[in-house]
Amino acid sequence: MTALTFARSSRSLVLACVLALTLPLAGCGVNNIPTYEQNAKAAWSEVLNTYKSRADLIPNLVETVKGFAEQEKSVLTEVIEARAKATSVQVPADILTNPDAMKNFQETQSQLGGALGRLLAVVERYPDIKSGQNFLALQSQLEGIENKIRIARSDYIQAVRVYNTEITTIPGRWWKAFVYPDKTEMATFDIPAEEQKTPKVDFGNDKK
């Protein structure tokens, strides 16, 4: 056997061994980490989309309320400023693995949600606002967006839990050590119980 033939035979043997090892590994969880990571990133994108939808709706909501309740300037200003702060926050590329950046993002969105909740409470004192067609349409949109926000946040929290559990428990921890050493835990998106209740979009429509 010539050296060239031997080299070719060796390469073929190595390739066969690699394939023999790779196929079983594919079914043993080696792909779980990147799969769970992509799921969490997709869930995070939905969180951002829902918050953007809420932010996009607020200017029209403020203008509608302003037309009937100009005297509520302090509440309107609070909402406007909270929205400006929330939309001006630069979301860093590493936010999913940066707890401080995640905390800052969450705080600004929480502040906006609180300000929006106080604005909605003010509306209760103005029947003309509540019965206006523009406001009713905005109310319906806001209710839908708030529901989407709750679902998106819940989905993200669940996706991160699955990912973090995978890279910190066996056998995922082994795959991380040998195949994905650069992977780190993702920042959780904690939602306090009281925050989940704000803003409460309730205009008393069910009251008799």
What's the whole-number mean pLDDT along residues 57-76? 85
- pLDDT for the residue numbered 107: 93
- pLDDT for the residue numbered 10: 56
Considering the entire predicted model, what is its pTM? 0.78
- pLDDT for the residue numbered 13: 58
What's the whole-number mean pLDDT along residues 111-138? 87
pLDDT tens-digit series, residues 19-56: 445 445 445 788 999 999 999 999 999 999 999 999 99
- pLDDT for the residue numbered 202: 43
* Topology annotation, domain 31-196: de novo design (two linked rop proteins) (1.20.1440)
Distance CA 89, CA 120 (A): 24
Domain residue extents for the chain: 31-196
pLDDT tens-digit series, residues 81-92: 999 999 998 899
- Of 9-18, 93-102, 178-187, 195-204, least confident by mean pLDDT is 195-204
